[in-house]
Amino acid sequence: MTMPGMNHGATMNGRLETLKGKAFDRTFLSMMIVHHQGAVDMSKTVLNTLKDAQVKRWTVEIISAQQKEIGEMNTWLGTLGGVDKSVQTEMTGEMKNMVTALKTNKDSDRGLVEGMLPHHASAIDMASLALQKSSDSRVLGLAHDIIRSQADEMYAYRQWLIKRGF
Cβ atoms of residues 123 and 76 within 8 Å:
no
pLDDT of amino acid 93: 85
51 burial class (0-12, 13-18, 19+ CB within 10 angstroms)?
exposed
Q: CATH code for 20-163?
A: 1.20.1260.10
27-66 per-position pLDDT tens digit: 999 999 999 999 999 999 999 999 999 999 999 999 999 9
98-112 per-position pLDDT tens digit: 898 898 889 999 999
41 burial class (0-12, 13-18, 19+ CB within 10 angstroms)?
middle
Cα distances (Å, whole numbers) of residue 5 to 20, 69, 73, 94, 160: 26, 22, 22, 4, 24
SS3 83: coil
- Domain parsing of the chain, residue ranges: 20-163
pLDDT of amino acid 4: 47
How far out from the chain centre does Cα 62 lie?
Answer: 10
Neighbouring residues of 18: CB distance < 8 A, sequence distance ≥ 6: none
Nearest to 50 by CA among 114, 116, 110: 110
* Strands annotated E in the chain: none
Distance CA 53, CA 59 (A): 10
Q: Is the pLDDT of residue 164 over 50?
A: yes
Cβ atoms of residues 36 and 63 within 8 Å:
no
